[in-house]
């Protein structure tokens, strides 16, 4: 329920009542996350669905799709992932935990929140990228302009903006 200006509810209109997302009824959803005006869900079988604003490719969809109110299954190459466990949506980026502990990112990286290094350019990248050298994550979280990954050994990696000491 709520404002649906960019399709972030996964239904056709704004609503003040809780409404089930029809397209997801056939899946057992085990994890959800909401960004500024986009949303995502992961099913028990490892499928990921995304909907809402994609102006910064934060959904991981093609740059030609700027917005969608229909939950879409995220399709990635098997090189990147064979399934998903979790997703965390930030302001204009998302971070995804793959079935085998890899971390994928999508969206804007202007403040380093994608963990792709100093040479990152918002105008020259694929819609989904793998964070280098992170293959053992068990949880991910994102804030407005930063990202965290918890590794199997209990250590936490962080990257992005540290203006207020959030890293």
Integer CA distances (angstroms), 145 to 33, 90, 151, 154, 159, in order: 16, 7, 20, 23, 9
Tokens representing residue 50 in the block: 């995304």
| Whole-prediction pTM | 0.93
Tokens representing residue 126 in the block: 């694929």
The tens-digit pLDDT sequence of the chain (167 residues) is 888 899 999 988 888 889 999 999 999 999 999 999 999 999 999 999 999 999 999 999 999 999 999 999 999 999 999 999 999 999 999 999 999 999 999 999 999 999 998 666 666 556 899 999 999 999 999 999 999 999 999 999 999 999 999 99
What is the distance between the alpha carbons of residues 17 and 79, in angstroms, rounded to a whole number? Answer: 41
pLDDT of residue 97: 98
**Strand 48-53 to 38-43 pairing:** antiparallel
Nearest to 56 by CA among 12, 13, 103, 110: 110
Say how many Å lie between the first and final Cα of the chain, rounded.
32
What is the distance between the alpha carbons of residues 83 and 155, in angstroms, rounded to a whole number? Answer: 23
Backbone φ/ψ region at 52: left (φ over 0), alpha (ψ -120 to 50), beta: left
Dihedral sign computed on CA atoms, order 142, 145, 151, 153: negative
What is the distance between the alpha carbons of residues 144 and 24, in angstroms, rounded to a whole number? Answer: 27
Tokens representing residue 43 in the block: 């099913």
């Amino acid at each position: 329920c709520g404002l649906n200006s960019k399709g972030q509810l996964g239904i056709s209109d704004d609503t003040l009542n809780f409404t089930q997302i029809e397209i997801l009824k056939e899946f057992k959803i085990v994890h959800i996350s909401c960004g500024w005006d986009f949303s995502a869900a992961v099913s028990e079988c490892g499928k990921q669905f995304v909907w809402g604003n994609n102006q910064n490719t934060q959904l991981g969809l093609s740059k030609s799709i700027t917005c969608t109110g229909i939950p879409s299954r995220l399709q990635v190459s098997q090189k990147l992932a064979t399934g998903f466990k979790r997703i965390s949506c930030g302001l204009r980026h998302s971070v995804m935990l793959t079935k085998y502990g890899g971390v994928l990112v999508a969206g804007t990286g202007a403040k380093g929140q994608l963990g792709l290094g100093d040479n990152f350019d918002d105008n020259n990248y694929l819609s989904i990228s793998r964070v280098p050298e992170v293959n053992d994550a068990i949880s991910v979280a994102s804030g407005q302009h930063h990202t965290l990954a918890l590794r199997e050994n209990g250590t936490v990696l962080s990257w992005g903006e540290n203006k207020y000491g959030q890293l």
